[in-house]
Each structure stands twice: as C-alpha cells, then as structure tokens.
C-alpha cells in the first residue's frame, strides 16, 4: 500500500480523527444518558431505605438536571451542520458534561456516606465502579471525556475512604485508585486503537479516491491516445489519396480548359464544359482542405503581424457574420509577429468565423482577441515550450455538448445538415496549426458559447513590410 507514503498532510488527518472521535462520543451519548438516569433512579430507590428519602432523591434530582443539560447539548449537536460540527466547542462541552455527570456520582459519596451504613457505602461504591466501567466503553473514543468522568466520579470516593483513617478504609481507597488507574489505562489503549482505526479508514478512503481519479485520468489519456492514433491513420490515408487526386484534378482542369479554348466561345458545349470545370474546382477546394487536415499542404511561413492580417479581413468577417452578429477585435499593443502562412491563417480564421456564425443563428457577438502567451498551465499540452501568439475567437452561440466537443476535430464529423457541413473545417484548422508548429484548443459549454484558441509560434524576425496578402477566396459558404 502506498497511501502511507503520499498521504494527506498530518494536521488534516488529525482534524478528521478529532471530528470522528467527537462524533462518536455524541453518537453514544443517548446510551450514557439513559444508563445514568436509570442507574441513579435505582440507586436512589435502594438508598432511601437506608438513608431516608430527602438526600437520595435530592441527589437524584441533581443527576437528572445534569442529564437534561447533556440531552440539550446532544440535540444541539445533532442539529448542527457538518461545518458547525467542526467547531472546537463541541469536544469541550462534551468533556464538561461528562465532568458534571462524574461529579454527581463522585459527590454522592461525601453527601451520602456519612448517613449510610457500611452495606449502603459498599453498594454505592460498586455502582460508581460499574458506571466508570460503562463510561470507558461508551466514551473511550474521546480521551478527555472519559478521563473527566473517571476521575470526577472516583477520586472523591477514594479520598473519602482514605479519610476514614482505618486500615479497611485505606485499603478500599487504594483499591478504588488501582481500579481507576486500570480503567484509565484501558481507556488510553482503547482510545489509541480507535484513533488508529479511524486514521486507517480515512487514509484508505483517500487512497481509494486517488486511485479512482488516477484510473479516470488514465482512461481519458488512453481515449485521447486512441483518438490521436485514429486521426493519424486517417490523416495518412487521406493525405495519400488527396495528393494523387489533386494530380488527377490538375490534369482534368487542364484538359477542360484546353477543350474550352478549342471548341470556341460560341459552341453549345461550352456551358457543359464550364459546369465540369466548376465542379473540378470545388473538388480542388475539398482536396485542399483534406491536405490541410493531413498536414500535407504546401505552406509558406513568414513573420506576420496578426493585427494587420485580421484588420485586412475585417470586412470579409463582417460580411460573413451578417447584421445580427456583432464583431469586436482586441489586440495586444505589443503583439509579437507570428511565423505562419498568412493565406492559410486567413482561411482558418474565416472557417472559425463561419462555425461561430452557424452557432449564432439567432444573433450574438464574436470577439477576436490577439495576445502574446508563453507555454504553461493554460497552453495546449502538445506545444513545445516557448513563446506564442494566440488568436482567440469567442462566440456567444449554442456551444457544444460533451460528445460534440470530443469529436469536433474528427474529419467528416459534422452536426450540420447534409450538404451544408463537410466536417472538415476544424480538422483543417488543426492540421494547419500543427503543421505551423502551433496547436488549437477549444473551450465550449452547451448554451454558453465557444472559444477557439489558435496558438501560433512567435517569429524571431520582424514582419515583412509588404502588405499581407488577403485570402484569395471568400468563405466556403
């Protein structure tokens, strides 16, 4: 077992043990109160035959009064909330109640002994001994409580015996002391055993919790690994096919263009060829996204000022979002240049804009934020340590449920209608970011909007002075 080595801090365990001990004392309290009352009543009945009614029943009233006070205390503890039960007043009050109860029995001796015959004194001594033994069993979980009862109930009787000045009295006093010492020792052992058991229980339950958390974490890591392997295989397959297909499409495109030139503008076949050419171009765009997802597109990374880049496509973004969605752009004044392919980044931002727009069909707002960031707790774990520029795109749209979020980067996964979404937008953005030496992270909550963070490596050199080229093509839809 490893929990002993990496267990919780000692004072925390100590606090829990103390709380468990106090709660155990209060759990046993009704039994102690019932035994106290019944035994005191029986004792008073027996003693009134030997010492008259007034003193035994006066003493009984004292016992009942203290018992009633402890009952009120027990009721208050029962009604206390878990955090109120942590208050250090409870063990003090329990100990105080126990002390008073013990004193009732202990002072019964000095009150009753002078008027009791020897038989009555013996009877009272035996009853007090029994009460002390019973108290060890019911209150042993909390040492101060049990010691308070033991000493206050027995010491006055022992002193009384010693004060008689006879050999028998001294022997009885000594016997009471030995008996109490034995009980106190048993109480200490019993208490230690209970404390150890409680400590083990607490540590075991914590070890169990840690184990469950580790199992859950391992399962999540395995699932993520399986997903990554699956994507890797799909990426390799797609990349190979897309590459060959791209070559075929280039031939198709070239031949269609040549055919159009040869048959002349007025030929009846021109519309047919133009339709074929458009379809081939759409196929080319699809292949391009597949290559981006498979991280096999040709990139031209250069130092780019992302504030300028976003400003350059702001109009396009506004037109994409429409009238019902507001746009806010915020950029760090000291934003470092990023080393990326500007055209592909524009396409990625437009893709994310379209996703956000689709998630805000009833209107909303989109915020694009640009800032410098270092790898750390907040960064995607797959990033190499270093400095990055983060493009955050946040919308106030529908957000994603857990299943959608888990599958969002899967190629061809879409929740959109057939023909509207191809499920290649996010995989393409992710492929592009990874190929650029960055990463993507999504935070989303159903009904709470979505934030996509694009982490791109900072460039060491300043950005080019020439204006950043704007994405040649408008958004896919």
Ligand X SMILES: Nc1ncnc2c1ncn2[C@@H]1O[C@H](COP(=O)(O)OP(=O)(O)OP(=O)(O)O)[C@@H](O)[C@H]1O
Residues binding ligand X (CB under 6 A): 351, 355-356, 359, 395, 397-400, 404, 408, 413-416, 421-427, 450
Q: Whose CA is closest to 345, among 282, 235, 438?
A: 438
DSSP string, 149-171: HHHHHHHHHHHHHHHT-SHHHHH
> Which range in 124-132, 201-209, 232-240, 423-431 contacts Mg ion by CB under 5 A?
423-431
Residue nearest to ligand X (CB): 425
> Does position 320 bind Mg ion by CB under 5 A?
no
Residue in the block written with tokens 């009272």: 124
Shortest distance, position 329 Cβ to Mg ion, whole Å: 21
In whole angstroms, give the CA distance from residue 117 to residue 50. Answer: 7
Question: Cα separation of 216 and 201, whole Å?
Answer: 22
In the complex with ligand X, the residue whose CB is nearer, 174 or 420, is: 420
Closest distance of CB 414 from ligand X, Å: 3
Give 406: exposed, middle or buried? Use CB within 10 Å, 0-12, 13-18, 19+.
Answer: middle
* Residue number with CB closer to Mg ion (399 or 425): 425
Q: Which is nearer to Mg ion, 340 or 426 (CB)?
A: 426
Q: Binding to Mg ion by residue 67, rule CB under 5 A?
A: no
Tell me whether residue 297 or residue 355 sits nearer to Mg ion (CB atom).
355
- Please choose which of Mg ion, ligand X, none residue 431 contacts, taking the beta carbon within 5 to 8 angstroms, the exact cut-off set by kind: none
Ramachandran region of residue 116, left (φ > 0), alpha (ψ -120 to 50) or beta? beta
Of 34-42, 240-248, 317-325, 354-362, the window that binds Mg ion (rule: CB under 5 A) is 354-362
Please tell me the distance from the alpha carbon of residue 415 to that of residue 101, in angstroms, as a whole number: 72
Report how far residue 301's alpha carbon sits from residue 341's, in angstroms, rounded to the nearest whole number.
4
Provide Rg for the chain, Cα atoms.
42
Residue 425 is a binding residue for Mg ion (CB under 5 A) = yes
User: Per DSSP, what are the bridge partners of residue 365?
Assistant: 326
What is the C-alpha to C-alpha distance for residues 444 and 402, in angstroms, rounded to an integer? 9
Q: Which one of ligand X, Mg ion, none is in contact with 398 (Cβ closer than 5 to 8 A by kind)?
A: ligand X
Query: Minimum distance from CB of 434 to Mg ion (Å)?
Result: 17
Nearest residue (CB) to Mg ion, 14 versus 412: 412
- Least Å distance, CB 223 to Mg ion, is 24
The nearer residue to ligand X, 195 or 454, going by C-beta atoms, is: 454
- Residue 468 beta carbon to ligand X: minimum distance, rounded to whole angstroms: 23
Report the residue from 121, 305, 355, 451 that binds Mg ion according to the rule CB under 5 A.
Answer: 355
Which residues, including other chains, have CB under 8 Å from residue 355's CB and lie 6 or more apart?
425, 426, 450, 452
Tell me how far apart the alpha carbons of residues 110 and 115 are, in angstroms, rounded to a whole number: 10
Q: What's the closest the beta carbon of residue 288 comes to Mg ion, in angstroms? A: 15
Instruction: Pick the piece of the chain touching Mg ion (CB under 5 A) from 13-21, 166-174, 422-430, 453-461.
Output: 422-430
Mark out the alpha helices in 52-112 (DSSP H runs): 54-79, 82-85, 89-112
Select the span of 130-138, 366-374, 405-413, 418-426 touching Mg ion (CB under 5 A): 418-426
CB nearer ligand X, residue 101 or residue 313? 313
Nearest distance from C-beta of residue 404 to Mg ion, angstroms: 12
Task: Output the smallest distance, CB 320 to ligand X, in A.
Answer: 13
Instruction: Report the residue number whose CB is nearest to Mg ion.
Output: 425
Please give the size of the binding site for Mg ion, defined by CB under 5 A. 2
Residue 397 binds: one of ligand X, Mg ion, none (C-beta under 5 to 8 A by kind): ligand X
Our CB check for ligand X shows the closer of 372 and 404 to be 404
Name the DSSP class of 459.
P
Q: How far apart are CA 469 and CA 46, in angstroms?
A: 108
**Cβ at position 231, least distance to ligand X in Å:** 12
Report the distance separating Cα 177 and Cα 315, nearest Å: 95
Give 271: exposed, middle or buried? Use CB within 10 Å, 0-12, 13-18, 19+.
exposed
User: What are the φ/ψ torsions at residue 442 (nearest 5 degrees)?
Assistant: -115, 135
DSSP-derived pairing of the beta strands 325-331 and 364-374: parallel
Q: How far is the CB of 311 from Mg ion (least distance, A)?
A: 23
- Cα 5 from Cα 2, distance rounded (Å): 6
* Part of the chain binding Mg ion (CB under 5 A), chosen from 190-198, 212-220, 276-284, 355-363: 355-363
Nearer to Mg ion, 108 or 421 (CB): 421
Binding site for Mg ion (CB under 5 A): 355, 425
């Amino acid at each position: 077992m490893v929990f002993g080595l990496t267990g919780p801090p000692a004072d925390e365990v100590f606090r829990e043990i103390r709380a468990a001990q106090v709660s155990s004392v209060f759990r046993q309290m009704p039994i102690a109160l019932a035994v106290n009352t019944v035994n005191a009543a029986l004792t008073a009945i027996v003693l009134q035959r030997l010492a008259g009614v007034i003193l035994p029943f006066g003493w009984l009233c004292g016992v009942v009064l203290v018992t009633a006070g402890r009952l009120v205390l027990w009721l208050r503890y029962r009604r206390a909330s878990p955090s109120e039960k942590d208050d250090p007043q409870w063990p003090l009050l329990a100990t105080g109640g126990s002390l008073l109860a013990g004193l009732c029995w202990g002072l019964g001796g000095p009150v009753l002994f002078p008027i009791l015959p020897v038989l009555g004194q013996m009877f009272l001594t035996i009853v007090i001994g029994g009460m002390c033994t019973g108290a060890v069993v019911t209150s042993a979980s909390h040492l101060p409580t049990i010691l308070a009862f033991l000493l206050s109930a027995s010491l006055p009787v022992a002193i009384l015996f010693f004060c008689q000045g006879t050999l028998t009295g001294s022997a009885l006093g000594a016997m009471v002391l030995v008996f109490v010492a034995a009980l106190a020792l048993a109480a200490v052992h019993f208490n230690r055993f209970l404390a150890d058991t409680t400590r083990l229980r607490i540590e075991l339950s914590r070890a169990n919790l840690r184990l469950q958390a580790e199992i859950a974490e391992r399962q999540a890591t395995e699932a993520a690994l399986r997903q990554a392997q699956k994507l890797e295989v799909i990426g390799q397959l797609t990349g190979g096919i897309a590459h060959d297909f791209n070559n075929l499409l280039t031939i198709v495109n070239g031949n269609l263009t040549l055919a159009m030139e040869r048959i002349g503008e007025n030929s009846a076949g021109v519309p047919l060829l133009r339709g074929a050419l458009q379809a081939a171009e759409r196929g080319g765009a699809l292949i391009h996204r597949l290559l981006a997802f498979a991280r096999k597109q040709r990139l031209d990374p250069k130092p780019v000022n992302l504030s300028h880049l976003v400003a350059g496509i702001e109009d396009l973004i506004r037109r994409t979002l429409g009238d019902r969605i507001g746009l806010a752009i915020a950029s760090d004044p000291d934003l470092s240049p990023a080393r990326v392919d500007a055209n592909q980044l524009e396409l990625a931002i437009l893709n994310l804009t379209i996703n956000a727009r689709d998630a805000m069909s009833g209107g909303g707002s989109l915020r694009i934020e640009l800032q410098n960031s270092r790898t750390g707790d907040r960064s995607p774990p797959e990033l190499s340590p270093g400095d990055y520029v983060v493009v955050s795109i946040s919308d106030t749209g529908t957000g994603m449920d857990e299943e959608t979020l888990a599958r969002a980067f899967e190629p061809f996964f879409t929740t959109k209608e057939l023909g509207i979404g191809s499920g290649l937008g996010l995989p393409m953005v992710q492929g592009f970011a990874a190929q650029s030496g960055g990463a993507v992270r999504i935070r989303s909550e159903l009904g709470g909007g979505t934030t996509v963070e694009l982490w791109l490596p900072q460039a060491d050199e300043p950005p080019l002075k020439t204006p950043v080229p704007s994405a040649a093509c408008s958004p896919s839809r």
